[in-house]
Amino acid sequence: MICPACSHPMIVVEHKHIELDYCAACQGVWFDNGELELFLDSFPDQTGKKHLDFFNLPEATTSEKKRRCPICSSKMQKGSLGTDPAIIVDVCQKNHHGLFFDGGEVNQLVKTMSSGRGVPIIDFLAETLKSTN
């Protein structure tokens, strides 16, 4: 897969059936639709599913250029996740292929969501992607 941010090839990082496409050049991370479900399922009480609808995020106001989905090449929407500070992610809303986090944003999300829960995939992501902050 080619990184939607910098056009470098991405590598696959796998842990417990969750595969993330990771760009070593810009530290961006792509979650496809199925990976998002596995990520949300890693929350024991499923509260993540009630609060995180990645494909219907409010559109973010940003000067960032819209990127193309690495699967279907359609322009992705800029979605705003959270507020303190907001994480701006690129979302393939047209075909629900997935979403792209710029370097450091997955780590920011992990910190926001973990809040002492000790969820294995969150610990894995924090450790694997700690160089992105």
| Domains of the chain, residue spans | 11-132
| Structure token digits, residue 32 | 């496809």
Q: What is the pLDDT of residue 47?
A: 47
CB of 109 closer than 8 Å to CB of 132: no
Residues of the chain with pLDDT > 70, as a percent, come to 68
User: What is the average per-residue pLDDT within 75-89?
Assistant: 85
CB of 80 closer than 8 Å to CB of 4: no
pLDDT surpassing 70 at residue 127: no
Confidence class of residue 125 from pLDDT cuts 50, 70 and 90? low
- CA separation for the pair 74, 32 (Å, rounded): 15
pLDDT surpassing 60 at residue 14: yes
Q: What is the pTM of this model?
A: 0.78
